[in-house]
A = this chain, B = another copy of it.
Amino acid sequence: MARRSTVSCAVVLASGGLDSTVTAALAIEAGHEVFWLTIDYGQRHAVEVMRARQVAGAMHAAKHTVVTIDLRALGGSALTGELAVPKNRQSEERAQGVPVTYVPARNLIFLSVAAAHAEVEGASLIYFGANVLDYSGYPDCRPEFIRAFEAAVKAGTKRGAEGTAPRVYAPLLDMTKADIIRTGMRLGAPLHLTHSCYDPVGDLACGQCDSCLIRREGFLKAGVEDPTRYAVG
């Protein structure tokens, strides 16, 4: 399909997870031409990237770009290899402090790559699946970070100098996981293809990491059957 000048373009940071898939569905619903962007950063759960491709395919992505960044070279996170992923933590425990699954400056790096992609493709928006309620422990999901990042893009890119810096839009920011799942169902997003697990066992989700626990609770609260195949039921 030829690009129509009346359609605004949006870059969607798509990890193959639940949140970014619903975020992409919202971008499509809003009528944007969507540029899917996935970062292969050497994550333990590299199955994410494959799932991102499947999700993008199922949602008829016109363009899906995968950028490789070797964050394993830096270390410092359970998701890039050094530390063990915590299992079976209660919600109170999960709410305390920054977890070891925090990847140093990950969203700063990912959004920076998204800003570059938006600059090249002429996109006016970056859709970002951050969720402040579920992930209060991750500073790079906070609204004040998003605003500060936008200011950096405005000050430090060609598009910013021209007065057309892309904005960052995080439509899930105030939604619960159950809300996100209900929104995905309403929009027909392929939630069965999404992947949330930090520490998958082959094709199966572990069922015990923070991300699996939050996902399971979300489907339960949404009253939607969870399509995920877990190693531990």
Are B160 and A155 touching (Cβ within 8 A)? no
- Assembly CA distance A74 to B117 (angstroms): 6
Copies, count:
2
- Assembly CA distance A101 to B3 (angstroms): 26
Q: Mark A88-108, 1 if CB is under 8 A from B, else 0.
A: 000000000010001111111
Q: Mark A107-118, 1 if CB is under 8 A from B, else 0.
A: 111001101110
> Residue of B at shortest CB range from A110?
B112
- Assembly CA distance A74 to B123 (angstroms): 13
Q: Which residues of B contact A156 (CB under 8 A)?
A: 105, 107-108, 139-140, 142, 145, 148-149
Are A109 and B109 touching (Cβ within 8 A)? yes
Are B102 and A158 touching (Cβ within 8 A)? yes
> A151 contacts the other chain (Cβ, under 8 Å)?
yes
Interface of A is mostly: helix
Q: Mark A146-190, 1 if CB is under 8 A from B, else 0.
A: 011101111111101100000000000000000000000000000
CB distance from A94 to the nearest CB of B (A): 16
> A120 contacts the other chain (Cβ, under 8 Å)?
yes
> A75 contacts the other chain (Cβ, under 8 Å)?
yes
Residue of B116, B148, B154 touching A109 (CB-CB under 8 A): B116
Residue of B66, B68, B106, B155 touching A139 (CB-CB under 8 A): B155
Listed in ascending order, the chain A residues whose CB lies under 8 Å from chain B are: 65-71, 73-76, 98, 102-109, 112-113, 115-117, 119-120, 139-140, 142, 144-145, 147-149, 151-158, 160-161
